[in-house]
Amino acid sequence: MTKAHDIGLRMVRNAGGEPGFEVIVGGGLGRTPMIGTTVRDFLPVADLLPYVEAVLSVYNTLGRRDNKYKARIKITVHETGKAEISRMIEDRFAELRPLFGGGDQAVLADIRTAFAPPAFRDAPVAAHDAFYRADPVFRSWADTNLAAHRNAQYAIVTISLKAHGQTPGDATSDQMRIIADLAERYGHSDLRISHEQNVILPHVHKSDLPVLHAALVKAGLGTANVGLLSDIIACPGMDYCALATARSIPVAQELATHFEALKLEHDIGPLKIKISGCINACGHHHVGHIGILGLDRAGVENYQITLGGDGTETAVIGEKTGPGFAYDEIVPAIERILRAYLALRTDPGETFLQAYRRVGLGPFKTALYGEIGQKDAA
């Protein structure tokens, strides 16, 4: 998501292997979604603070104050242009850099000590490997909810808060206490909350994974769906937010239970569905593989669909398919899109996003609206 923020910093290495940052400026979602512009391909780590100050200084000079809807860095970058904004940032950076005497690096060093890695255990993992082969339920969870750790004996565990039919990202107080206890017992007392509304245990030894999984299942936290259809980002929508113009949570719940009943979720494979209940885009729908935006049309909920969005390093804003759908039409509409994908993909390994980039919007418009409706939607 770094390219969809006011200032995005992406860790990179230069030709010499030194760490630094790609600096991206002017991204944002909301009513005017934009992908940010790279103003520096490589910035040394030591220059980070003065360079960010230079960006903000230029924005402070140029930023719109006459219109609150245009008072964002993304509008400033768009109106000024990449070449000029980059020149101004570099000029300002040249002025600011000599003013930094190293105090910022001392602060950074203190912060680094707070994020020092734990004392990793050195223990056999053969029992875990055998359990993985023997238990299909554990294997299904491990295949979706685990990520590789830099220590080969460990895994990164994502605890899904997206049980089918439940409120995305929600947990009871009892579940939160259980997660805290599990983090303390098996995760070096470390847990993190992801922007995708899940909980991450970043350091779990593989020998502890079977017992951890059993405890999660017992607590209703063992859903094996991370990165799949039901792992939906949804804003609170009209159920909890005064700004919302449509419901988000019930749409996410119905999508999850509908495709669980059809047993299609694992066949569909990796998929990012994101839902926002208004144009403020708190659900990041613009960068969802399938984005859903709820709007008010003369007092009636209407849901627009965008396809092909991407929030990774290949970020792109999704394309609108055409006219929106009523509340009771949105789940069948998503099913038509995904059945079209299953029919279009070249093999089970081709993801929805890959297939969309290969064939474009046309076949999905046809699936949504039919041949006649596609012409109207164009």
Residues of the chain with pLDDT under 70: 372-378
d(CA 6, CA 24): 8
Reported as a single tens digit per residue, the pLDDT across 237-247 is 999 999 999 99
Residue 309 near residue 27 (C-beta atoms within 8 A): no
CA distances from 106 to 99, 112, 113 (A): 15, 10, 11
In angstroms, the first-to-last Cα distance of the chain is 29
Distance of CA 232 to the CA centre of its chain: 10
Q: What is the pLDDT of residue 307?
A: 98
Kind and range of the H or E run holding 274: strand 273-276
Burial of 174 from C-beta contacts in 10 A (0-12 / 13-18 / 19+): exposed
Instruction: Report the candidate in 91, 94, 89 with the shortest Cα–Cα distance to residue 76.
Output: 89
Q: What is the pLDDT of residue 212?
A: 98
> How does DSSP classify residue 167?
P
Could you give the 3-state DSSP secondary structure of residue 71?
Answer: coil
**Structure tokens of 97?**
């850099």
> How does DSSP classify residue 187?
S
In the chain, alpha helices (H): 48-62, 73-80, 82-96, 103-114, 126-134, 136-145, 173-186, 209-218, 249-262, 265-268, 330-344, 352-359, 362-377
Hey, what domains does the chain have and what are their CATH numbers? 2-114 (3.30.413.10), 126-218 (3.90.480.20), 233-377 (3.30.413.10)
Q: What is the pLDDT of residue 175?
A: 98
Q: What is the pLDDT of residue 346?
A: 95
Q: What is the pLDDT of residue 377?
A: 53
Give every CB contact of residue 323 below 8 A, 6+ residues apart in sequence. Answer: 369, 376, 377
**Structure tokens of 108?**
């950074």
Q: What is the pLDDT of residue 49?
A: 93
- β-strand partners of 201: 157
Instruction: Report the candidate in 158, 338, 356, 351 with the shortest Cα–Cα distance to residue 270.
Output: 351
Reported as a single tens digit per residue, the pLDDT across 250-266 is 999 999 999 999 999 99
Kind and range of the H or E run holding 190: none
